[in-house]
Amino acid sequence: MDSPNHWRIYIPKKRQGDELKDLETKRRRLHEEEVQARKDIKARGTFNEDFFSGASRAESKTLERLRIASDISFSQFQGDFETWQNREAAKDLFSKIRAAEEREQRFKQRSEAMAADKNTPDGVFRGIFMRLFTSARTGMDIKGVGEGARDGTTQYNFRKKLLKDQNSLDTEGYAWCPIIQRRFYEKDMRAGHIFSYKHGQEMMDEIFGKIRPEEMFSSKNGIIIHKSIEEQFDKGVFVIVPDIPDEFSMEQVRVWVTGEVRNYKIRIIDSTFHKLDHGVIEPDSSMTWRSLDNRKLVFKSNARPAARYLYFHYCLQILRRAWKAAPGEKQALTLYDQFGCRVWATPGKYIGRKMLKALVDTLGHEYQDLMIGSSMKSGDVDHLMNCLTRQISETPVPDEMTEEDAYESDNESEDEGEEDVYADE
C-alpha cells in the first residue's frame, strides 16, 4: 500500500434547503446501489479479478455514501466545523471513510494482481474472501451465508463457559467484573469474543496460525465485563495490555512472557474521550474513566484471555484512533504514553509478520514498534487489514448521532442477528 498520504481526507460542506434534501435522497439511492453491487458479485459465482474489481466498485459506493453522510451530519449541526469535528459522531465518520478508502484500494490492487496471475486461489482463501462480503454488515445483506449471526444456543454456551472458567459467578448469582473489581447482577454483565466471531474460524487460523482445539469459543478468546465497560472497549477508549511496570526491566518482561498465568492492566488510549472524568458506573462515581488507566485486572481464577487476541484488539484500536483524527489534525495517538513508555511492552509471536507490516505501512513508519507482536506465520498479506477495516466500518454510530446518522447505522445491515462484540443473546 501507499503511505498514509493516500488517504483522501474529505472535508464536508454546509448544505441547506433543497440541496440538503437532495443529498438525503442520493444517500439512500447509493445505499441501494451498494447492496445490489455486492449481490451481483455473489450472483456471478466467479472468484477472479472480476470479483475484486466488483468489490472495489461496491466499496466506492460505500465511500461516496459516507462522504454524503458527513455532509448531512455537518449541515445539521448548529456550529462551526472545528466544533463539529470533535464530536464522536464526526470522528466515527472519519474512521469509516478511511476504512472504505483502504478497502477500495486493496480490492483494486488485488484485482490487478489476479489479472496478472491467472492462478486460481485455494479453497481457504476463496472462502475467507467470500465470507467478507456475504456476512458483513457492509456486505451484501444475504442471509444464511458465511458465519452469519450467532444462534442463541451457541452464544449461551459460550457465556456459560466464560462464567465457569473465569469463576465469575458466586453462590447468590452475582457475577464478577475483573476491571471494576466488584460483583453485579449477572444480567448486567456482557460476555463476548475478543477476536470477533463474525470473522470466522478460517480467518482466525490464517491470522494466528492453526491452533487446536479451536479457540473461537474458548475462554482464551473472551472476557466477562460490566455493560458500562464493553462499549468503550469496543470503540477503543481503552485497551487491555500486559501488566508490567512502565519502567520495566528485561527480566520483568521475561517473567511475564514465560509465566503460566499472565496478568493484564488497562491503558486509556483516547485522551479526547469526552467522559474521561465521568464515573464509569454512576456519573458522580469516584471511579472515573481516567482513573482506570494502569488499573490491574483481577480475575477469580487462573483463566485469562490469550495475549494474541488482546494484541489483535490493540492493533484494531490503534488503527481506529489514528483514523478518527480530523482532516489536518495529527493522528490521535502513538504507541507511547505521555511519559514515553510503550503501551504494549512485551514481545510475542502473535500475528504473521507480513500482515503486521501491511498495518504499519498503512499507519506510517512511526508505528514500526507494532512489529513487536510479529511471528513467522504464513498467511495472505491482506487478511489482517481486511479484518480491521471491516470491524471499523461496522462500528455502530455513537449515541449523540442525528436522525440522519441513525439511518446510516440502521441500514448498515438487514440481518438483525449480526450483533456487537459483547451481545449476550
User: In this predicted structure, what is the pLDDT of residue 300?
Assistant: 96
Q: Across the strands, what pairs with 174?
A: 185
pLDDT over 70, % of the chain? 78
Strand 182-185, strand 189-193: pairing: unpaired
> Residue 348: is its pLDDT beyond 60?
yes
Residue position matching grid coordinates 475483573: 178
Strand 222-226, strand 189-193: pairing: antiparallel
Q: What is the pLDDT of residues 186-218, one digit of tens each?
A: 999 999 899 999 888 989 999 999 999 999 999
pLDDT over 90, % of the chain? 49
User: In this predicted structure, what is the pLDDT of residue 423?
Assistant: 35
Rounded CA gap, 280 and 266, in Å?
A: 14
> Cβ(188)–Cβ(226) under 8 Å?
yes
User: In this predicted structure, what is the pLDDT of residue 405?
Assistant: 42
pLDDT band at residue 143 using 50, 70 and 90 as cut-offs: very low
Between 383 and 120, residue with greater pLDDT: 383
Pick from 180-194, 275-289, 409-423 the range whose average pLDDT is largest: 180-194
Q: What residues contact residue 375 under an 8 Å CB cut-off, 6+ apart?
A: 209, 348, 349, 350, 351, 352, 353
Write the CA distances from 29 to 33, 61, 99, 116, 154, integer angstroms: 6, 10, 21, 34, 37
User: In this predicted structure, what is the pLDDT of residue 340?
Assistant: 58
Between 135 and 276, residue with greater pLDDT: 276
User: In this predicted structure, what is the pLDDT of residue 286?
Assistant: 87
> Residue 150: is its pLDDT beyond 60?
no
**Which amino acid is located at 31 in the chain?**
H
| Reported pTM | 0.84
pLDDT band at residue 414 using 50, 70 and 90 as cut-offs: very low
Q: What is the pLDDT of residues 319-339, one digit of tens each?
A: 998 898 876 665 545 566 655
DSSP state of 76: T
Between 316 and 408, residue with greater pLDDT: 316
Rounded CA gap, 310 and 387, in Å?
A: 14
Rounded CA gap, 270 and 316, in Å?
A: 13
> Residue 315: is its pLDDT beyond 90?
yes
What is the residue-averaged pLDDT of the chain?
Answer: 82
Q: Where are the beta strands (DSSP E) in 134-284?
A: 174-177, 182-185, 189-193, 222-226, 238-242, 264-268
Rounded CA gap, 34 and 133, in Å?
A: 12
> Residue 257: is its pLDDT beyond 60?
yes
Closest CA to 32 of 64, 80, 77: 64
User: In this predicted structure, what is the pLDDT of residue 5?
Assistant: 44
Segment 166-173 mean pLDDT? 93
Between 286 and 223, residue with greater pLDDT: 223
Q: Across the strands, what pairs with 185?
A: 174
> Residue 3: is its pLDDT beyond 50?
no
- The Cβ of residue 369 has, within 10 Å, a number of other Cβ atoms equal to 15
Write the CA distances from 159 to 186, 197, 320, integer angstroms: 11, 13, 27
Residue 5 CB burial class (10 angstroms; 0-12, 13-18, ≥19) = exposed
Q: What is the pLDDT of residues 80-137, one digit of tens each?
A: 999 999 898 999 999 999 999 998 988 888 888 877 766 655 555 555 665 665 555 5
Q: Across the strands, what pairs with 191?
A: 224
Rounded CA gap, 111 and 181, in Å?
A: 50
> Residue 292: is its pLDDT beyond 50?
yes
User: In this predicted structure, what is the pLDDT of residue 406?
Assistant: 38
Q: What is the pLDDT of residues 259-268, one digit of tens each?
A: 889 999 999 9
Closest CA to 223 of 281, 161, 282, 172: 161
User: In this predicted structure, what is the pLDDT of residue 221?
Assistant: 97
Rounded CA gap, 175 and 337, in Å?
A: 32
Q: Is the dihedral of CA 142, 145, 146, 149 positive or negative?
A: positive
Rounded CA gap, 336 and 331, in Å?
A: 13
Between 284 and 277, residue with greater pLDDT: 277
Least confident of 10-14, 297-301, 334-338: 334-338
- Give the three cell numbers for residue 100: 472504505
- Give the three cell numbers for residue 255: 517473567
Strand 374-375, strand 351-352: pairing: parallel
SS3 content of the chain, % helix, strand, coil (to 5): 50, 10, 40
Rounded CA gap, 422 and 191, in Å?
A: 6
User: Coil, helix or strand for 35?
Assistant: helix
User: In this predicted structure, what is the pLDDT of residue 123?
Assistant: 52
Between 299 and 330, residue with greater pLDDT: 299
215-238 b/e (C-beta count within 10 Å ≥ 16 → b)? bbbbbbbbbbbbebbbbbbbbbbb
> Residue 16: is its pLDDT beyond 70?
yes
Rounded CA gap, 306 and 316, in Å?
A: 16
pLDDT band at residue 419 using 50, 70 and 90 as cut-offs: very low
> Cβ(289)–Cβ(275) under 8 Å?
yes
- Give the three cell numbers for residue 261: 498465568
